[in-house]
Structure 1
């Protein structure tokens, strides 16, 4: 009896030892990470908000990690081409992505042709910053606040128009939300070029737009644009006299901050994600980084990978409700 058991026991012990050795080797490899430069994918051209966030955190992060970080701008399709590149990369710890809600939480829900799902194929590493958007209009509009604007939308001959950078963007979905909740019928005008939007709102060819705070501030300060509302729950420090959307009784349920965070291809070792999260959060405590983000109209928002994942899911669910109500779909 004993002799018939011993070979089985021996094989079990051997498997255990082999498994333990493999785990030890993997643990040693992860402990040495990173051993070569890291690629940080940005799904937008240089100069935009996502790219600005990537550049603000990459230099101090590279210093802390002891390896260079190469920013790879893969623009197009509202960030989705870059997100596809990141999602399809090997989860070896050397490709990450700085993303936003548009390509991570929204795009897959409006475009079934995409080859990735931001909630499934991208692993959350850490939230970096949040920023309200601001509803702006031509300076010659006869009203000065949100309630006046909504009233004007129902009385102006031909109604009011609002430009965004495309169908299915956060700005477009926010407009659909405002129209549904308030009964307004503001016309959506999708643009191909975001740079043309400012020119046309200032020139009066379109009445309004929803812009990032950093983009809008110079034009609000110069009087070329009027600010009607910010999209967070609180007034923005840079626009203390402009009320948030949520102060309107019909729009009190949801805020619409933009967010920027780091993600990784699914399947990346959790120890690498944890270490990157720790180093990223350390960077976000640097007064210079905090100040530089504040100049962009952003507030730092460090958290854990699990907290960031829950944040993305909640943000996506909010937009999915709007998408379903409005029946919005786009195709590449």
Structure 2
């Protein structure tokens, strides 16, 4: 064999290794622990479900998925950490819609743009909000509360997970439709709102069933109405906002999404999507979520992209109608 033939063989071998190398690296994913960033404080629904999904992903991939809480700025701090991480699949996030379809479109100085900087992997759950109130609220129904708010010289206050959050937008839309004015009090996540409600620091707040149901049953907070199209199974006597106010097109719900930084290997993104969708299709996981008042989602990458586009338009319309600003 002459030198030229040897060089050709070696060249082919090197080329083959270069092609196989990335594929081999992807197929071995994950070979070390994966971070799951939650952009809100520990204890809220997003955090609870992220830990459940992280545990199930750990089983599916035989590797540890570690939840890390990075609250602040309506979820923007945590999601920005995901967006700016190395796109290798070892830093992911579980985020609600606020930092994905609301805040970045209100702030021209936003540190990231969702469509440019994030991979939307799989929707995890959907849940109706429950409109909760402090336990000593004089009005015991939503209709009575909104009627009183029109004439009360003191503006009623509402707590949210941050300025320009989904919760903020939904409260302002409710105020607009009912002809009332309310005072916005932002927090760093759902968990800190609960003691604020229980102690009367705020009058009302939209809370997920996972956090609200037990406290409502114990009488520690009031449940005025649910925001979904139907009643919450765990609280069948509680009416919906649509029932009470006659707003058939008003929907107050939240959802979470498994996300990663833009540019992740397609194979890794596809495997995470498939694994998460399988987990969410498991009857036991669905039952555990249902006990928290949550509905498991999942779906293909194409379905995920379509869902995000639809929700972005919905909330941008609400933001525009209510002149909500990022201040």
Taking structure 1 as the reference length, the TM-score comes to: 0.84
Tell me if 1:57 matches 2:49. Answer: no
The aligned residue for residue 294 of structure 1 is: 290
The Cα of 1:297 is off from its aligned counterpart by 2.3
Q: How does 1:114-133 map to 2 (within 5 A)?
A: 114-133=110-129
In 2, the alpha carbon distance for the partners of 1:303 and 1:196 equals 32
Structure 1 unmatched ranges of 5 or more: 1-14
The aligned residue for residue 168 of structure 1 is: 164
Q: For residues 183 and 290 of structure 1, do their structure 2 counterparts lie closer, same or farther at Cα, with a shift above 3 Å needed?
A: same
The Cα of 1:260 is off from its aligned counterpart by 1.4
Q: Secondary structure at the match of 2:126?
A: strand
In 2, the alpha carbon distance for the partners of 1:233 and 1:311 equals 18
Tell me if 1:94 matches 2:90. Answer: yes
What CA RMSD, in Å, does the superposition of the two structures yield over aligned residues? Answer: 2.8
Q: Name which of 225, 230, 234 aligns with 1:234.
A: 230
The aligned residue for residue 38 of structure 2 is: 42
In 1, the alpha carbon distance for the partners of 2:31 and 2:199 equals 53
Q: For residues 44 and 193 of structure 1, do their structure 2 counterparts lie closer, same or farther at Cα, with a shift above 3 Å needed?
A: closer
Q: Name which of 23, 28, 34 aligns with 1:32.
A: 28
Aligned length: 317
Structure 1's consecutive aligned runs of 4 or more residues displaced over 6 angstroms after TM superposition are 15-21
Q: For residues 249 and 90 of structure 1, do their structure 2 counterparts lie closer, same or farther at Cα, with a shift above 3 Å needed?
A: same
The aligned residue for residue 12 of structure 1 is: none
Taking structure 2 as the reference length, the TM-score comes to: 0.85
In 2, the alpha carbon distance for the partners of 1:184 and 1:226 equals 20
The aligned residue for residue 178 of structure 1 is: 174
The CA deviation string for residues 141-191 of structure 1, in whole angstroms up to 9 with x for no partner, is: 444333333222223443533233432122211111112223232333345
In 1, the alpha carbon distance for the partners of 2:192 and 2:23 equals 52
The Cα of 1:243 is off from its aligned counterpart by 1.9
The aligned residue for residue 284 of structure 1 is: 280
| More deviation, 26-35/173-182 | 26-35
Q: For residues 85 and 230 of structure 1, do their structure 2 counterparts lie closer, same or farther at Cα, with a shift above 3 Å needed?
A: same
Q: For residues 75 and 186 of structure 1, do their structure 2 counterparts lie closer, same or farther at Cα, with a shift above 3 Å needed?
A: closer
In 2, the alpha carbon distance for the partners of 1:99 and 1:44 equals 8
Q: For residues 149 and 122 of structure 1, do their structure 2 counterparts lie closer, same or farther at Cα, with a shift above 3 Å needed?
A: same
Are the counterparts in 2 of residues 45 and 73 from structure 1 also a CA contact under 8 Å? yes
In 2, the alpha carbon distance for the partners of 1:259 and 1:170 equals 10
The aligned residue for residue 329 of structure 1 is: 325
